[in-house]
């Protein structure tokens, strides 16, 4: 059973649909017991860092996420779900993230001729042997929608990066915690292969 954490932050149904297409049993829930008993847990998200953290804390889901991670359950953050795993974001000065991983979320810098948010397909540079990317070719294209990007403190946890106005840490892995800035559920066959690698961990 894979639990998708429901905290009113978008793109949940598309994640569910992708997992169902892989033959997975899926539950969308904000219930602590169901999340903690799941074999895998996914934190999706589209929206604002500060609002999302406020909702997670108000519902006690920040502590649920920490317990799941500490227990060793495979955990995947997607888009905003990646950003929330880190310590802080330019989008919400003064708001603490979950701090499960070390690093900061920065505003994508303005560059002439480049639109922000970064929206569309970009190629990945694979590095450091990420388990999510088994069978994926270097240079594979995935779908992004974001105005903020990750700069991880420890580059050894970075498993994929891309370039758009700046160098972006696009996916990370540390022990049982995985995260993607891009949307695997919207990234066609490559994205489904990434999700399959996660659910087969």
167 is catalytic: no
How many residues appear in the chain?
A: 201
CA distance 153 to 157: 9
Strand intervals (E) in the chain: 2-5, 26-29, 40-43, 75-78, 88-89, 103-107, 118-123, 125-126, 141-146, 148-152, 158-163, 167-174, 177-180
Of 118, 146, 169, 183, which one is the catalytic site residue?
183
User: What confidence score (pLDDT) does residue 11 get?
Assistant: 73
Of 16, 79, 146, 173, which one is the catalytic site residue?
79
183 is catalytic: yes
Alpha helices in 24-179 (DSSP H): 32-37, 49-58, 61-71, 80-84
User: What confidence score (pLDDT) does residue 9 get?
Assistant: 81
How big is the CA angle at 122 (ends 90 and 21), to the nearest 5 degrees? 100
Coil, helix or strand at residue 186: helix
* Each residue's pLDDT expressed in tens, for the chain with a length of 201 residues: 999 999 988 779 999 999 999 999 999 999 999 999 999 999 998 889 999 999 999 999 999 999 999 999 999 999 999 999 999 999 999 999 999 999 999 999 998 889 999 999 999 999 999 999 999 999 999 999 999 999 999 999 999 999 999 999 999 999 999 999 999 999 999 999 999 999 999
Q: For the chain, first and last CA: distance in Å?
A: 13
Q: Which residues pair with 7 in a beta bridge?
A: none
User: What confidence score (pLDDT) does residue 21 get?
Assistant: 96
User: What confidence score (pLDDT) does residue 192 get?
Assistant: 98
Domain ranges of the chain: 2-91+101-199
Burial class (CB in 10 A: 0-12, 13-18, 19+), 148: buried
146 is catalytic: no
User: What confidence score (pLDDT) does residue 172 get?
Assistant: 98
Instruction: Please give the structure tokens belonging to residue 22.
Output: 């892989």
The four Cα atoms 116, 91, 130, 28 give a dihedral, to 10 degrees, of -100
Residue 94 CB contacts under 8 Å (≥ 6 apart), including other chains: none
For residues 11 and 79, is the Cβ–Cβ distance under 8 A? yes
For residues 167 and 106, is the Cβ–Cβ distance under 8 A? no
CATH class of the domain defined by 2-91+101-199:
alpha beta
């Amino acid at each position: 059973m894979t639990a998708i954490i429901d905290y009113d932050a978008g793109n949940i149904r598309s994640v569910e649909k992708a997992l169902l297409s892989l033959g997975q049993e899926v539950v969308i829930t904000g219930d602590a017991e169901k999340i903690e008993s799941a074999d895998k847990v996914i934190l999706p998200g589209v929206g604002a860092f500060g609002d999302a953290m406020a909702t997670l804390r108000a519902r006690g889901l920040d502590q649920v996420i920490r317990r799941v991670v500490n227990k060793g359950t495979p955990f995947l953050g997607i888009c905003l779900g990646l950003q929330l795993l880190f310590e802080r974001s330019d989008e919400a000065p003064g708001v603490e993230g979950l701090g499960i991983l070390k690093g900061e979320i920065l505003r994508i810098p303005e560059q002439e001729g480049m639109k922000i948010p970064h929206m569309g397909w970009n190629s990945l540079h694979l590095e450091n042997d990420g388990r999510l990317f088994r069978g994926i070719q270097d240079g594979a294209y995935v779908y992004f929608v974001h105005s903020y990007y990750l700069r991880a403190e420890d580059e050894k946890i970075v498993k994929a990066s891309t370039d758009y106005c700046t160098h972006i840490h696009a996916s990370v892995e540390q022990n049982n915690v995985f995260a993607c800035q891009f949307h695997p559920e919207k990234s066609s066959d490559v994205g489904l292969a990434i999700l399959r690698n996660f659910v087969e961990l």
